[in-house]
Amino acid sequence: MESQIKEIAQFLTLQTRPDIKLPAIEFIAGLTGSSETNTLIARNTTIIDAAVNLTKDEIENVADAAYITLINVTGDDHAANYLCKKDYVQSLLLYALKKTAKYADKACMILCNLTRLSQGCDTTMEILQSQDGRKIFNQLLDAFFCSGYNKHATYHHVAAILANVTQVQAARRWILDKDKLIIQKCLPYTQYYDNAIRRRGLIAVIKNCCFESDCNEWLLGEEIDILPHLLLPLAGPEELKQEETDRLPLDLQYLGEDKVREPEADLRIMLIESLMQLCATKPCRMYIREKMAYAILRELHQWDKNEDVLSTCEKLIQILIGDEPEAGMEDLRNVTVPDNYSITDKSEAIVKK
Amino acid sequence: MSEEVPSSESKNDNTSQDYDEEEWMKELQKVPLLMTEQPDEIDPETSPALAALQALKYENDEDPPEVKAVNYKDDGNFHFKRKRYHQAIAAYTEGIKQNCGDNDLNAQLYNNRGAAQSYLGNNRSALNDATEAKKLSPTYIKAFIRESDNKKLKELKLKAVKNQKVNARNHRKENLLSKKEETSIRNLMQALKEREVTLDGLKSYSDIETMSIKDVKALLTPPDPMGASAMVYLNEEMVIHWPILFIYPEHGQTDFIKSANENDRFMDHLIVMFDDNEAPPWDKENKYKLKNLEIYFEDKDSTQLHRIHLHQTLKEILTDKRFCVKYGIPSFILLVTESRRILTTSFSILLV
């Protein structure tokens, strides 16, 4: 197989006759479709370089197949690390933001695959933090939030890119900028059932941002009012007691029998984990308790069948209905946990292949 | 009040005859040195001294209008910083009146006045001033827009969002309640159908399918003053509770029971109502005793009365084909043995 691949590699240039390069690149793209052969290609930097080159091909099908090759191949860590070069990431970003770019969505998918690794994340952030970087970042947000930015693309995968880069604190601080209020635009997406990629990505962004504990009070405050956005997807059609209903945020009162919960278990978990992060400090914890989040979680616990959701839910319920920790331990993040009890719980962003 | 009343404190008379303390304070306020507040507008008629002082500062004819405008602006800023917005507005207005040729300065005066207006909540004036300032100096306006944007508009927006949420919540609540009511009425009608209770105004239970909930409800709602609160209902154990009315034609009296279990015997209610020790106030002759009571119901066409036995239950009677529930309240006629004769003669109702 390897010798065959090598043989084909020589046809993967812009200058090759179309009737040869098209089947050649389509063959390679086909190989990346199964995980076994994908690893093989991922280790072949000649092919990867050639594919990068062919994305600029004038023939639509050739460029298309080249993009598919790169998307699949970057699902492999080896190839992703190889492509995490500053120049390439920058060119991808700039291409994706062109209003006429035909393959903007595909470029976003590659970026998303690259940023899932810490190296890709760092490279991307390095670019975004450079002189023109903020402009690129803002443009990326424009493309994502404003429909019709580029008629060839949906920019759904920007959500996943954002989810990945918010593993870096600098990106979280941008999202949490108190003048730009980007987080405010993100919140409605917790209930964006039209598109799972956007919803998943932005729930991850929100969860990552909840790790910035100094912003938690602001997030829960009336300007941003994050709580209903986190609780609504977890709430179901059950009728609650009057005194519970009255304490809930307005958006959660009297939801009615057609209310459905977030269908994806891992997204329910992320929402609960976000709430858990917000519970880290005492004033925020008191507020969430006051707003009767417990009632929503209790009903979720009754309804949910997924073990992982149930156990995450139990952890949060413990915090909500348990006794307040003793003096000096109120900030749950500063409590030292004895080694034998600790479970490494890092800010994990979702991985999109 | 204003009539001359000889004052016991004649000491005040030599200063001014009619002055009470309040007016005296007002007079003092006109003396610049003793003022505690700066007036919004200076009228030379009422406070000549202040007008003169003002003239010293501002009406120096040798000063060009630009200098005067700057003076007024500084004055305005002085008040603005101390949150005395009315006075700041007065000062800026004076500054604007100077009509100086410096557009940037005028823009600042308008802008600052607008800012003061916005702090007072005069949003329209603030907006007008902002527009004016923008006309004079298009580049200068940014700061002000931000200011008003951040404070008043933010508040306004938060308020609007909250109102919207409250409205949405109320809407959901109403929907939920009306849906609940609908189910409960449908269930009730089903229970009535099973018991074959005849309702006045309903020919057949199959008609209900096509009727609106409002119309179905109307069939069962008692008239005022009892109203909807007394309406028949089906509890969770599938037992119907009725409002019932006992009529005493001999005395023109009625007794109303708001919620009677359909499984109650008539006796159960009457035993409470006609205690041997305590006769109803209208029963002067003390005839209405449990052992004398006779209960009847009217049939559908109000032509006949049918006797009810005290040990019969409400349900037994209501499911009787001859019985008809009118106005949502089953009603029964109560007599005592002796009064039957009177009734047969005075009312032309046939007793069976």
Amino acid A28: pLDDT: 93
Query: If you average pLDDT over each of A324-333, B152-161, B178-187, which comes out highest?
Result: B178-187
**Which of B165, B170, B178, B179 should one mutate to test binding to chain A, selecting the residue with the greatest count of A CBs within 10 A?**
B165
Residues of chain B with CATH 1.25.40.10: 57-149
Residue A42: name the closest of A121, A114, A119 by CA: A114
Alpha-carbon span A113 to A42, nearest angstrom: 13
Please report residues of A whose CB lies closer than 8 A to that of B183. none
| Pairwise CA distance, residues B42 & B35, whole Å | 13
CB-based contact A163:A144 (threshold 8 Å): no
- Mind telling me how many Å the CA of A169 is from chain B's nearest CA? 27
Backbone phi, psi, residue B246, to 5°: -100, 130
Q: Which residues of A touch B175 (CB under 8 A)?
A: 254, 256
B158·A254 Cβ contact <8 A: no
Q: pLDDT tens, B245-273?
A: 888 887 888 888 888 888 888 888 888 88
pTM for this entry:
0.68
Contacts of A256 in chain B (CB under 8 A): 172, 175-176, 179
Please say if the pLDDT value at position A344 is more than 50.
Answer: no
Measured in angstroms, the CA of A104 and the nearest CA of chain B are apart by 35
Span B14-23, mean pLDDT?
Answer: 62
Give the residue from A282, A289, A279 showing the smallest Cα distance to A330.
Answer: A282
pLDDT digits (tens, 9 = 90+) for A110-135: 999 999 999 999 999 999 999 888 89
- B21/B110 Cα distance (integer angstroms): 41
Residues in chain A: 353
Q: What is the mean pLDDT of the segment spanning B80-92? A: 90
Provide the pLDDT confidence category of residue B350 given band limits of 50, 70 and 90: very low
For residues A164 and A180, give the distance between their C-alpha atoms in angstroms, rounded to a whole number: 20
> What ranges do the domains of chain A cover?
1-83, 213-345
Q: What is the CATH number of domain B57-149?
A: 1.25.40.10
Query: Domain B240-351 maps to which CATH number in 3.10.20.90, 3.40.190.10, 1.10.3720.10, 3.20.20.140?
Result: 3.10.20.90
pLDDT of residue B339: 64
User: Which of residues A345 and A167 earns the better pLDDT score?
Assistant: A167
Angle between helices A2-9 and A18-31 (to 10 degrees): 140
Whether pLDDT at A277 is above 90: yes
Could you tell me what percent of chain A has a pLDDT over 90?
78
Mean per-residue pLDDT, B142-146: 57
Q: Closest partner residue to B165 among A251, A255, A256, by Cβ?
A: A251
Report chain B residues touching chain A, CB-CB < 8 A: 154, 158, 162, 165-166, 168-169, 172-173, 175-176, 179
Place of tokens 């030292």: A336
Place B211 in a pLDDT band, splitting at 50, 70 and 90. Answer: confident
Q: Is the dihedral of CA A276, A183, A351, A83 positive or negative?
A: negative
DSSP of A86-120 = HHHHHHHHHHHT-TT-TTHHHHHHHHHHHHTSHHH
Residue B248, strand partner residues: B253
In 3-state terms, chain B is what percent helix, strand and coil (to 5)? 50, 15, 35
- Of A222, A223, A255, Cβ closest to residue B172: A255
- The answer to whether the CB atoms of B168 and A222 lie below 8 A apart is no
pLDDT tens digit string along A244-253?
Answer: 999 999 999 9
